[in-house]
Amino acid sequence: ATVANELREAILDEQLVLHYQPVLRLPSLRCTGVEALVRWQHPKRGLLPPSEFLPVAVQHDLMTPLARWVLREATGQAVAWTRAGMPLITSVNISASHFSTGTLVRDVRDALAATGLPPEQLVVELTETSVAQDAERAAAQFAELRLSGVEVSIDDFGSGFSSLAQLVAMPAGILKIDRSLVAYPEGRRSKAAAAVAAVVALGRACGARSLAEGVETAEQLEMAIELGCHLAQGFHIARPMPPEQLAEWVAARG
C-alpha cells in the first residue's frame, strides 16, 4: 500500500494517538491546560512523529479527516479528565487546508456536541503563516469560533510572514510566542526579551493573552514570568506524553 493509503486506513483504524504537553499558568505555575499533538502508532514502523506523515496528509487531502479524528479524540479525553476532577483546557492544531475547506467551525461544533465538552475548554491553534494565507477567511472563522465559546490561538507568533497589521486584525485570544524568541540563542538575551515584551504588549492591547512556547530552561521560564507572559509551555516544564502519563504528571504536581 502507498503511505497515503496506509494513513487513510490509520485514521479509520484508530492507529493515531495523541500525546499531550502541559501548559502552565504564570506566575502560579499551575497546570491549567494541554496541547494535543498527534502521532502515528504504525504497526511496523513504531511511533511516528508528525513530521513523518503530516506532509503526506497535506498532499493527499487527509488533513481534514485527520483533524476531525484529533478533535473528537482530544475533546473526549478532556471530558474524561474533567470527570476525573482534572478540568484541563485542551489545545488542538488546525492546518491551513482545513481552514480553507470551510468545514472547520462545523467540525469543531460536531466534536463538542458528540463528547459534551464545554466550548470554554477547547482552544484551536492556527499558525501565523496559515493565517497569512487567507487572513480574511481566518478572521471570519476565528470570530465564529469565539462566538461559540471556543478560544483561538495564533501559533508560532513572530516567526511567520504575516504583517503586523494582519495580526492585529485577527480576533485571537492567545498569542503563542514562537520558541525562536523564547529559547533565544546565546548572547541575544536583551533583544529576545524585547521581542517577547513587544508581543506581550501587543497582545494586551488587543485583549489577547500571551503564551511562551519552547521554554527549555529555568532562566527562560523566569524571563517569561518577568515579561508578563500569561502561560508557558516547553521541555523545561514537560515533554509531550501519553494521556495516562499526563494524568499522573498533573496529579503528582498538584
Q: From the list ligand G, Mn ion, Na ion, none, pick the one residue 242 interacts with, judged by a Cβ distance below 5 to 8 Å according to partner type.
A: none
Q: Which of 210, 212, 206 is nearest to 233 (CA)?
A: 212
Residue 93 sits in the site that holds ligand G (CB under 6 A): yes
For residues 181-201, one letter each, b for 16 or more C-beta atoms within 10 angstroms of the residue's C-beta and e for the rest, the string is bbbbeeeeeeebbebbbebbe
Q: Which of 50, 94, 53 is nearest to 70 (CA)?
A: 94
Using the rule CB under 6 A, give the single segment among 77-85, 100-108, 204-212, 232-240 that binds ligand G.
Answer: 232-240
- Least distance to Na ion, CB of residue 133, Å: 16
Residue 155 sits in the site that holds Mn ion (CB under 5 A): yes
Residue 50 sits in the site that holds ligand G (CB under 6 A): yes
User: CA 112, CA 230: separation in Å to the nearest integer?
Assistant: 26
Q: From the list Na ion, Mn ion, ligand G, none, pick the one residue 144 interacts with, judged by a Cβ distance below 5 to 8 Å according to partner type.
A: none
Nearer to ligand G, 83 or 127 (CB): 127
Grid cell, residue 219, equals 532562566
Window 185-214: residues binding ligand G (CB under 6 A): 213-214
Q: Which of 1, 2, 109, 130 is nearest to 63 (CA)?
A: 130
Residue 237 near residue 24, CB atoms below 8 Å: yes
Residue 44 near residue 3, CB atoms below 8 Å: no
- Least distance to Na ion, CB of residue 5, Å: 27
Residue 65 sits in the site that holds ligand G (CB under 6 A): no
Residue 107 sits in the site that holds Mn ion (CB under 5 A): no
Grid cell, residue 139, equals 478572521
Residue 155 sits in the site that holds ligand G (CB under 6 A): yes
Nearer to ligand G, 167 or 205 (CB): 167
Applying CB under 6 A, among 13, 47, 49, 251 the residue interacting with ligand G is: 49
Q: Which residues bind Mn ion (CB under 5 A)?
A: 155-156
